Amino acid sequence: DSKLKLKKSADKRVFLTNQNCDSLMANNSNFFHVIDIDPFGSFSAHVPFALKSIKHDGLLCLTATDTAVLFKNRLKCRMKYDTLINKTPWFAEMGLRAAISYIARQAAINEMAIEPVLSLSVDFYIRIFIRIKRNKTSAKKCLESLNYFYTCQCGYFLQLDRQGGIGNKNSKSCDQSEESKNVFNKNKCPICFQSLVLCGPLWTGKLHDLNFVESLPESEDKRVQNYLKMIKQEKSALFYHSISKISKLLKMDCPPMLVILSELLKRGYLVSFSHCMANAVKTDCPYTEMIKIFKENLLNSKNNKEFDPEAIKMCNTKYNREIMNMNGGPGSRYKKNK
């Protein structure tokens, strides 16, 4: 068998093994500073072992390629991640928050807290980097970032409090408006009037730590650079809104992105793009208000002679999401790059 050759300076620091990873982690409690798990499919079965073997302030890196489960399959997601989901336009972020929710609950069993420092939903997989805290008080506080939602396939969602309702006046996470209370009581979507579907618990805390992202060394990969650039501008608002899907829902032409961003900024809402999906906006604007903006004449670009400077700046910033294959294309280019 061929052996992997290591530098002499690394001989005493690097140990190679083909032992079962769960057994390895189970036999080395509170030992590792960094654990990176990249399985085929779901990481859920490995998380309990990883949490027991990682040190305080350790970095847990996880990859899941079973996005079909996290994004759309309600039954299998309940089985693998103990989380209820629904088919929504913001499925990519919902799957990401469902996965983090599972990790947070597994950590709480061991009286540990999590701090997501970088969370990505890209292509066919999700990638999560989480700082682990071995602190009982922090673990209890961490559970406050888990909430249930009433959701609709049109994109509407209503965040509930930790008791599964909206009547708790002490809860800062749920909407206390009369409109929301009517929606909750009738269990009907105010947009398309379909029955709402319960989802959760989902992680409602931050997906990224900007200090951690800023501290990362600059990558030579242009695609990585663009994603990190996009994450730095991403707001902490829940979920994203697809401009094209809202337009399809309302059976209208898709308005320019500049018009949408300008109107949201003028009304005082947080606005950014989402790394999860192109032509989508992350904002704290309620979905019902978003629909009203689409329906108003303000969306007619001819009536908008002045746009918000911040919106213009955002639209002029280019982000490349595509996978660049240098060996793709005509045969001549393939031979040249080869």
In-domain check, residue 83: yes
Percent of the chain with pLDDT over 90: 60
Please indicate, yes or no, whether residues 251 and 110 belong to a single structural domain of this protein.
no
pLDDT at 328: 45
pLDDT at 322: 64
Please indicate, yes or no, whether residues 53 and 25 belong to a single structural domain of this protein.
yes
CATH assignment of the domain containing 139: 3.40.50.150
Please indicate, yes or no, whether residues 117 and 233 belong to a single structural domain of this protein.
no
Please indicate, yes or no, whether residues 150 and 299 belong to a single structural domain of this protein.
no
Whole-number Å distance between alpha carbons of 240 and 277? 8
Q: Give the pTM.
A: 0.88
Please indicate, yes or no, whether residues 111 and 20 belong to a single structural domain of this protein.
yes
- Tracing tokens 């420092």 back to the chain, one arrives at 117
Please indicate, yes or no, whether residues 268 and 307 belong to a single structural domain of this protein.
yes
Q: Which residue did the predictor score with more confidence, 118 or 182?
A: 118
Show the beta-strand stretches assigned E in 123-254.
Answer: 125-133, 146-151, 157-159, 197-203, 241-242
Residue at 163: amino acid letter: Q
Please indicate, yes or no, whether residues 25 and 65 belong to a single structural domain of this protein.
yes
Residue at 330: amino acid letter: P
Please indicate, yes or no, whether residues 123 and 90 belong to a single structural domain of this protein.
yes
- HSE-CB for 291 with a 13 A CA cutoff: 15
CATH assignment of the domain containing 222: 3.30.56.70
> In the structure, what pLDDT confidence band is assigned to residue 65 with cuts at 50, 70 and 90?
very high
pLDDT at 172: 46
In-domain check, residue 331: no
Q: Averaged over 192-212, what is the pLDDT?
A: 94
Please indicate, yes or no, whether residues 206 and 309 belong to a single structural domain of this protein.
no
In-domain check, residue 2: no
In-domain check, residue 49: yes
In-domain check, residue 11: no
Whether 148 shows a pLDDT value over 90: the answer reads yes
Cβ-in-10-Å burial (0-12, 13-18, 19+) of 331 comes to: exposed
Q: Which domain holds residue 203?
A: 16-166+176-214
In-domain check, residue 93: yes
Give, in order, the Cα–Cα distances in Å from 215 to each of 118, 122, 129.
Answer: 12, 21, 14
In-domain check, residue 332: no
Whole-number Å distance between alpha carbons of 113 and 103? 9
Close Cβ partners of 194 (under 8 Å, ≥ 6 residues apart):
152, 153, 154, 188
Q: How many domains does the chain have?
A: 2
Whole-number Å distance between alpha carbons of 106 and 100? 10
pLDDT digits (tens, 9 = 90+) for 8-30: 555 667 778 888 999 999 999 88
In-domain check, residue 327: no
Please indicate, yes or no, whether residues 254 and 307 belong to a single structural domain of this protein.
yes
Please indicate, yes or no, whether residues 137 and 260 belong to a single structural domain of this protein.
no
270: number of Cβ within 10 Å: 13
pLDDT at 12: 66
Q: How far is CA 128 from the centre of its chain?
A: 9
Whether 320 shows a pLDDT value over 50: the answer reads yes
pLDDT digits (tens, 9 = 90+) for 66-99: 999 999 999 999 999 999 999 999 999 999 999 9
In whole angstroms, how large is the CA radius of gyration of the chain?
A: 22
- Let me know the angle formed at the C-alpha of 248 by 247 and 250, rounded to the nearest 5 degrees: 65
Show the beta-strand stretches assigned E in the chain.
Answer: 32-37, 54-64, 113-122, 125-133, 146-151, 157-159, 197-203, 241-242, 271-273, 280-283
Please indicate, yes or no, whether residues 127 and 264 belong to a single structural domain of this protein.
no
